[in-house]
Each structure stands twice: as structure tokens, then as C-alpha cells.
Amino acid sequence: MIPSLSNGSEPWVAMSRRRVSGMFARIFVAISGIRDSQSVLDMVKDLATEDLSEVHVVHFRLRELSGYSWYSRESRRDADLHAEAAVLDQRMAGLAVGAEVRYAYVDRVAEAILDQAARFGADLIVIGAPHRRELPARMFGSVTQRVVHRAGCAVVVAPRVRRRVPLRAEIA
């Protein structure tokens, strides 16, 4: 028999839904590709507290309309691989983490992130930096900007990792 609290819920459910002072108990993480997500996952390791934070990672498989049908550029296997790699990375850091792969329409990714974060009951959303440069982001917007402006909880934007370009002398 599993013990329950006076209100009828299990003790670990009540504890996980409570905001622990000084940190975030429920952290929602939206990731894209493996390379682009490493800075996001590193940020989560810095923000989460072992045994107190619950992390939920979601990789969104983008669906696009082509002609009369919807398709995804990424295979289901690749999407699962991204999610599993994120779980392994976070579990190696000692965090309680779960992951899933969800579909999202190309122009509705921000809404999908906010919807899933609300369903999870997130105290914090961690996302990556915008992929677009400054001018296109101002003209067309970005997923990151939409999430930051519309979120009902705190949002942390992980910085983009700059790739080092080798000098010509190093190439030869």
C-alpha cells in the first residue's frame, strides 16, 4: 500500500509540484538537434538541483505542408535519438529527467512549447538562442522571442555556442 497525504495525493507528487525556495522544482527543456542543444543541456545542469528538480525534455519534430500532405524532415528514429541523448546527458549529471518527442507545425513551435510547459506545470522553461540573425528575427520573429514574451513562468535562453573557425595555417 502506497502512503498518501490527507488530501489524497501521493507524497512525491505533492513534493514535486511544490516550488522549492531558491531554485526551480520543475524545469521544462525544449531541444532541437544534438549540436544545437548542448548549451541548453549544460544550462539545465547548472540550474537544476539533484534530488529536488524534475526535468522534462521535449524534442519537437517539425511538420511541414508540401502540396497536399504533411511531412517531417527528420525521421522518427533521429528524433528519438536526440531525446535519448538528452536524457543520458542529464542522468549522468544525477538529475531526474524524462523526455518525449512531439510533433509541431513549423509556424506553431512556440505555441507547442508553451502548451507542453503548461501541461508539465513548469516553473522554468529553458530554450536555445534564436537560429536567425538579428535582422531576420526582427522582421519575421523567432520561436525564442515568442516563448519569452508569452510564457507564464520564468524563461532562460541558453547562449549559442560559437564554433571556432580554423585558421589557414591550422588546416595545412
Residue 7 is assigned to a structural domain of this protein: no
For the chain, count helices (H), then strands (E).
7, 6
- Which neighbouring-strand residues pair with 155? 125
Question: Model's pTM, two decimal places?
Answer: 0.76
CB 110 within 8 A of CB 132: no
- What is the Cα–Cα distance from 100 to 82, expressed in whole angstroms? 10
Residue 128 is assigned to a structural domain of this protein: yes
Domain span holding position 135: 25-159
The pLDDT of residue 67: 78
- What is the Cα–Cα distance from 77 to 109, expressed in whole angstroms? 20
Helix (H/G/I), strand (E/B), else coil: 125: strand
Give the number of domains in the chain: 1
Block residue for cell numbers 536526440: 82
Block residue for cell numbers 519537437: 60
The pLDDT of residue 13: 38
**What secondary structure letter does DSSP report for 143?**
H
Q: Which cell goes with 118? A: 503548461
CB 121 within 8 A of CB 17: yes
The pLDDT of residue 61: 86
Residue 2 is assigned to a structural domain of this protein: no
The pLDDT of residue 5: 41
Residue 127 is assigned to a structural domain of this protein: yes
Report the run of H or E that residue 100 belongs to, with start and end. Answer: strand 96-105
Mean pLDDT in order along the chain per 10 residues (172 residues): 41 41 81 80 88 90 81 86 91 91 87 95 90 60 85 89 62 54
- What is the Cα–Cα distance from 118 to 129, expressed in whole angstroms? 21
Residue 19 is assigned to a structural domain of this protein: no
Residue 129 is assigned to a structural domain of this protein: yes
The pLDDT of residue 6: 44
Residue 56 is assigned to a structural domain of this protein: yes
- What is the Cα–Cα distance from 59 to 84, expressed in whole angstroms? 10
The pLDDT of residue 133: 65
CATH number of the domain bearing residue 151 = 3.40.50.620
The pLDDT of residue 120: 94
Residue 5 is assigned to a structural domain of this protein: no
